Amino acid sequence: DAGITQSPRHKVTETGTPVTLRCHQTENHRYMYWYRQDPGHGLRLIHYSYGVKDTDKGEVSDGYSVSRSKTEDFLLTLESATSSQTSVYFCAIMGKTGQHYNEQFFGPGTRLTVL
């Protein structure tokens, strides 16, 4: 299996509290992505990173921030969690060789419940 892990795997928190999810890779891939998955919506892109300290917004970035201070870690932060952010969060990594994308892998997911 590809070297990508997420922590925590499950979390229950209260509305208004900050939450940070961590994605860690050992593949040294350039690209990292955070998605949320909800019934009927598939996987929606929250933020992504194309290098250390290089990040950009996805489709549903409001209420989320990210940081990537080193290649292997991509952090997703909910500054003040709301019940609408209850979801399953997936991290993904992808490599690129020249113009060719390769090595797309997903993490196991984090189930977040905001009460």
Six token digits for residue 86: 């209850």
User: H-helix or E-strand containing 14?
Assistant: none
φ, ψ (nearest 5 deg) of residue 49: -130, 135
> Which of residues 59 and 79 has its CB atom nearest to another protein in the complex?
59
Sorted by sequence, the CB contacts under 8 Å of residue 3 that are 6+ apart come out as 25, 26, 27
Is residue 56 a contact point for another protein (CB under 8 A)?
yes
- Min CB(104)–another protein separation in Å: 5
Is residue 21 a contact point for another protein (CB under 8 A)?
no
Is residue 79 a contact point for another protein (CB under 8 A)?
no
Burial class (CB in 10 A: 0-12, 13-18, 19+), 18: exposed
Alpha-carbon radius of gyration of the chain = 14
> Which of residues 15 and 104 has its CB atom nearest to another protein in the complex?
104
Q: Pick from 22, 65, 73, 105 the residue near another protein by CB under 8 A.
A: 105
> Which of residues 18 and 73 has its CB atom nearest to another protein in the complex?
73
Q: Pick from 5, 13, 20, 58 the residue near another protein by CB under 8 A.
A: 58
